[in-house]
Amino acid sequence: MMNQALRVTLTTATLSVLVLTALPAQAAATATERQQTVDALVALTRGREIPPQLLTGDAVSGEDVFDVNDVFTVLTHLSMEPGYVLDYVSQADSMGGHPVVYARPASAPSFASFDEYQSALAAETSGEAAGSPPVEHLQTDGTEDGFFELAVFLIMGEQFYLDWDTTHNDTTVVCDTQGWETALLVVDTSVQGIIMSVIEAIDISPQVVMDEETVDVRVVTFSKWGGFIDTIHTFRREFPHEVMGTESSVLAEYDCDTIL
């Protein structure tokens, strides 16, 4: 869609002539630029030292802990609904711990534990909840890149402070040749050639299709415990951007056979 700007030209006569000038819409990011966004998110979130509280299920707090709202320094086409912020609690058990990200009013306190958060979700039907899933309050800037970043957040937004078995949550969006070549570095060399032949034969660059009411975002992801997966998220175009459907298909299956 083209943006339109109105230019006024004065003539020697007493009437003004209005000239409608079409300005080109902002171009969507390239596959390489989108890969850079994904790489920046990985650098921001992964490899952090795990706070002791995360392993007990208590709220994670302190000056040195990760502020999940920092993702917006990377996902610049996303923002929170005014008056809301992102926060997280730890869900921990004998298999490890991982963060559960939620949205809350900026004026509301953080939840003290995962159990307290679950109780709040149960109260949501009565309008008493102070926390809710992030997608209910995440808003795009209306561009293709905004919806691409929304899909990236849903896939990778909780990939920090992962402990033990929860490191299975390593699914990463791959957008270009550099992305899948990096992914192949962790694949057993005996099957690298087979997987490469499959990936080279398809277009893995993210695709965003915007209709009047919905937006389809197609991305390819990689996990050491699943391989390369083609996934389509369908979002409601208007805010709130409800996830209306998700479809996935395996492009190249892989399992590292690592037992944690």
Question: N- to C-terminal Cα distance for the chain?
Answer: 49
Residue closest to 165 by CA, chosen among 55, 68, 89: 55
Q: Which pLDDT score, from 0 to 100, does residue 98 have? A: 77
State the Cα torsion 187-202-212-157 to the nearest 10°.
10
pLDDT tens string, the chain, 260 residues long: the values are 434 332 333 333 333 333 334 444 568 899 999 999 999 999 999 888 777 766 665 555 666 789 999 999 999 999 999 999 999 988 866 566 678 899 999 999 999 888 888 888 777 654 545 788 999 999 999 999 999 999 999 999 998 887 654 456 689 999 999 999 999 998 888 889 999 899 999 999 999 999 999 999 999 999 998 899 999 999 999 999 999 999 999 999 998 765 44
Helix (H, G, I), strand (E, B) or coil at 165: helix
Nearest CA among 216, 225, 133, 215 for reference residue 172: 225
Which pLDDT score, from 0 to 100, does residue 113 have? 85
Rg of the chain in Å (alpha carbons)? 22
pLDDT at 26: 67
CA distances, 216 to each of 194, 213, 243 (Å): 29, 10, 10
pTM here is 0.83
Whether omega before 133 lies within 30 degrees of 0, making that bond cis, reads: no
pLDDT value at position 4? 36
* Dihedral of alpha carbons 58, 59, 65, 71, sign: positive
**CA angle, corner 157, sides to 153 and 163, nearest 5?**
160
Centre a 10 Å sphere on the Cβ of residue 240 and count the other Cβ atoms it contains.
12
Angle between helices 189-200 and 177-184 (to 10 degrees): 160
Give, in order, the Cα–Cα distances in Å from 56 to each of 67, 115, 165, 168.
19, 12, 15, 20
Closest Cα to residue 105, out of 127, 61, 65, 137? 137
Q: Which residues contact 127 (CB under 8 A, 6 or more apart)?
A: none
> What angle (nearest 5°) sits at the alpha carbon of residue 231, between those of residues 192 and 240?
150
Dig out the tokens for 248 from the structure: 């996935």
Helix (H) or strand (E) holding 74: none
User: What pLDDT is recorded for position 139?
Assistant: 98
C-alpha torsion sign, points 103, 140, 38, 191: positive
Distance between CA atoms of residues 238 and 235, nearest Å: 9
Q: What is the pLDDT of residue 1?
A: 41
Number of H helices and E strands in the chain, helices first, is: 5, 11
Bridge partner list, 221: 173, 229
The DSSP call for residue 133 is -
